[in-house]
Amino acid sequence: MSAGEDRLGAAIRTGLPYVGSCGALDMVNFGEIDTVPEKYRDRQLLVHNSQVTLMRTTADENHRFGEWIAAKLNQMEGEVRFLIPEKGVSILDVDGGLFRDADADDALFSALEANVHTTARRQLIRVPQAINDPEFADALADNFLEIAGA
């Protein structure tokens, strides 16, 4: 269920301001359990419902995600604020959650920090909450209002 290679492409092409984060990179979505390729059957899987099966991503995969996102962010000409949710990238990736893997999250965050060319106009911002926490939503909104000039 890929979003495709053009993910973030509109923000690159238009030069508009961009505020984003790395939500749900702790999982890959498949269809029903029978659609999970054999090579992934030994991975941590969660049957979310009869039509969706989730697979926990690894530290290596998250590192590659971070590099890919960084390359996209580096191409953006508009102001960029990319917020890092230190306490989890999904509802399943919080303390006590089924997909909690601090090492995998750290691999993602470290790859972003190592590869995003930060400037006054392109910032990575660590937020000490999980992505679904109200305070994280407030941080996103505040950053949007700041760069949108509202």
Question: How far is the first Cα of the chain from the last one, in angstroms, to the nearest whole number?
Answer: 35
What confidence tier does 2 reach under pLDDT thresholds 50, 70, 90?
Answer: low
Query: Residue 99: what pLDDT?
Result: 97
pLDDT, tens digit, for every residue of 42-66?
999 999 999 999 999 999 999 999 9
Q: Residue 26 has which token pair?
A: 């702790």
DSSP one-letter string for 40-106: GTTS-EEEEETTEEEEEPPHHHHHHHHHHHHHHHHT--S-EEEEEETT-SSTTSSTT-TT--HHHHH
CA distance 50 to 32: 6
Structural domains present in the chain: 9-26+58-148 (3.40.50.12030)
β-strand 80-85 against 18-21: which pairing, if any?
parallel
CA distance 134 to 117: 28
Query: Among 82, 98, 80, which Cα is nearest to 90's?
Result: 98
Q: Is the pLDDT of residue 1 over 60?
A: no
pLDDT, tens digit, for every residue of 120-140?
999 999 999 999 999 999 999
Query: Residue 7: what pLDDT?
Result: 82
Phi, psi for residue 24 in degrees, rounded to 5: 65, 25
